[in-house]
Amino acid sequence: MKIVNLSQKFDLFQEHWSPRIVGELNDSYVKLAKLQGEFVWHQHENEDELFFVVKGRLQIKLRDRDLVIKEGEFVIIPRGVEHCPVAAEEVWVMLLEPKSTRNTGDQQNERTVEARWI
């Protein structure tokens, strides 16, 4: 067991849209990511995805509406729901998702990265 200081972990990387693993919980990873700009439309066929906003404000576009998640709030995007995260300014998020989750879901492109431990 170890205590994880989120601020210290966020200080260890600068890249946007490149999640870092900071813990494991059952068959899921706890990841941190810095987001800025617009991501890609995608969905996760088999995985739900939790976005917890640590710092800033995150917009998640859905096909029928937009969600705005503020600092201290979280949202769970159910499997199969197409979404597109957008961060007008830098946002820090903590993600909780199954280990099998690819950051770009059903899309494979230049934004697809493997999460790595920090």
Q: Are the CB atoms for 109 and 40 separated by under 8 Å? A: yes
Q: Where do the structural domains in the chain lie, given as residue ranges?
A: 6-117
Q: Provide the 8-state DSSP code for 44.
A: -
Give mean pLDDT, residues 80-99.
97
Residue 104 has pLDDT above 90, yes or no: no
pLDDT recorded at residue 92? 98
The structure tokens listed for 51 are 């976005």
Mean pLDDT, the chain, integer:
96
Identify the pLDDT of residue 115: 87
Predicted pLDDT of residue 38: 97
Provide the 8-state DSSP code for 42.
B
The residue among 50, 51, 54, 40 whose CA lies nearest residue 6 is 54
Question: Which residue has 């946002």 as its token pair?
Answer: 91
Task: Convert 53-115 into a string of H (helix), E (strand) and C (coil).
Answer: EEECEEEEEECCCEEEEECCCEEEECCCCCEEEEEEEEEEEEEEEECCCCCCCCCCCCCCCCC
Q: What is the pLDDT of residues 13-42, one digit of tens each?
A: 999 999 999 999 999 999 999 999 999 999
Check: CATH 3.40.250.10 for 6-117? no
CA distance 72 to 93: 10
